[in-house]
Structure 1
């Protein structure tokens, strides 16, 4: 499967499948994938013939988060983090039902993308983590979406302990709605959910999503910009330089050794 298109789309009736397509990088988010996600959101918002959107990843992984080979500093880091916040809000705000089908890694930004979906299902091999602090960074834009999914207490543990959570634990804390034993069973589970969803009237589903959003904002006023600023500060600091170097060298950073 070629990686020249970072986001593969396929249409199955009223269902649009969007597959992150950077398998050699575990579908890590780079500039091209950011742009493809922005285009996806705009296209889905304009096409009400789409009833549901399924997010998945190629090559056995969902999304490993930001591609650290493209980590920027200063204004570039600020802009990238602002884009991430807008993508998460855009996915959540779509009139369609958004379903995440997770295999393998859903880390950092990948975890955020899963949490921004309306429904999340995982294969037994799925692994979830918010490892930013171990890299000298902060889980800025994804934090409100994790908190929406799991509640603030479990979100605090995920972003502070920064450990890897398996699929069974993810189900226990409410991070995912269901777990399937393997990829084939996950596909069948998602298919059954999509059939249920399409029993609902399109406008009624869209209005229901709007009512859920009206229960209270996921991201408080001012938070997105504060998060972007915090991420940019950390990305430019010595801790990020050491944390990312340690990650690439597969060693502990100095503060953990």
Structure 2
């Protein structure tokens, strides 16, 4: 059966985007990236919908990049070029989600790791269940958090983001709320659905054009990152992804053992 990596449904002015690779905790592969690009194209041109609710299937939000695709090319040059393209396109998707005229709500259960944090932070409003877990584990895999870093800094500030990406440990939903990574924590999936409904009810009180213009004004207050950062980040990610540390870090993660540098 062909996998449908992103489900897109409409209910009046509300569009629901569901990351749909539950067997991989909704990790992002090339097919999911292409599907997200198509969904973002449609939403950017959509003047009927007012809200986008982004979630993950199967009890998890998004575990980040599917590491089985990293380093799958034959030569180091091919690995580096593929990693740079992939990383840069991922960053563009976060920017495009943030720039949508619709209000974007991230509804988070389970794992929100690595690139999954980019979706959390590029959404306008983020709500998590109490069992949600957040992590920027890139340095433990021999990689760098290139494209998520500006979003983390914007959401929770430089100090908290620095601690998160350097320590690379898992934090729970309560801690995520304390540092400003998410706006609200609710007990379970049923409470999450109710909280989203409450936000939708509030947003319906706002005029569509006024909401979209307000988002535009927020964006106009300042650039997310210095000019050229996305390209520099993609190059840094590619250098790491093509190197020995990434090969060891990813192998250790897949084999559920400590990497050589941690022994």
**TM-score relative to the length of structure 2:** 0.96
Q: 1:96: which partner in 2?
A: 102
Residues 167-215 of structure 1 show CA distances to partners (whole Å, capped at 9, x for unaligned) of 0000000000100100000010011011111211111011100111111
Residues 209-235 of structure 1 show CA distances to partners (whole Å, capped at 9, x for unaligned) of 011111111122110000000000000
What stretches of structure 2 of length at least 5 have no aligned partner?
A: 72-78
What's the secondary structure of 2:223's corresponding residue? coil
- Following superposition, the deviation at residue 74 of structure 1 comes to 1.4
For 1:105 and 1:181, locate their aligned partners in 2 and report how far apart those are by CA, in whole Å: 15
C-alpha spacing 1:3/1:21, structure 2 compared with 1 (3 Å): farther
Residues 27-176 of structure 1 aligned to structure 2 (within 5 Å): 27-72=26-71, 73-176=79-182
Q: 2:212: which partner in 1?
A: 206
For 1:69 and 1:195, locate their aligned partners in 2 and report how far apart those are by CA, in whole Å: 41
Runs of 4 or more, structure 1, over 3 Å off, are none
Q: 1:252: which partner in 2?
A: 258
For 1:171 and 1:80, locate their aligned partners in 2 and report how far apart those are by CA, in whole Å: 30
Instruction: Tell me which moved more, 71-80 or 40-49.
Output: 71-80
**TM-score relative to the length of structure 1:** 0.98
For 1:202 and 1:220, locate their aligned partners in 2 and report how far apart those are by CA, in whole Å: 31
Residues 21-32 of structure 1 aligned to structure 2 (within 5 Å): 21-32=20-31
What's the secondary structure of 2:63's corresponding residue? coil
Residues 67-124 of structure 1 show CA distances to partners (whole Å, capped at 9, x for unaligned) of 0011142111111011001101000000100000000000000111111100000000
Q: How many residues are treated as equivalent by the alignment? A: 256
**Are the equivalent residues in 2 in contact too, given 1:3–1:21 (CA < 8 A)?**
no
What's the secondary structure of 1:255's corresponding residue? helix
For 1:24 and 1:253, locate their aligned partners in 2 and report how far apart those are by CA, in whole Å: 25
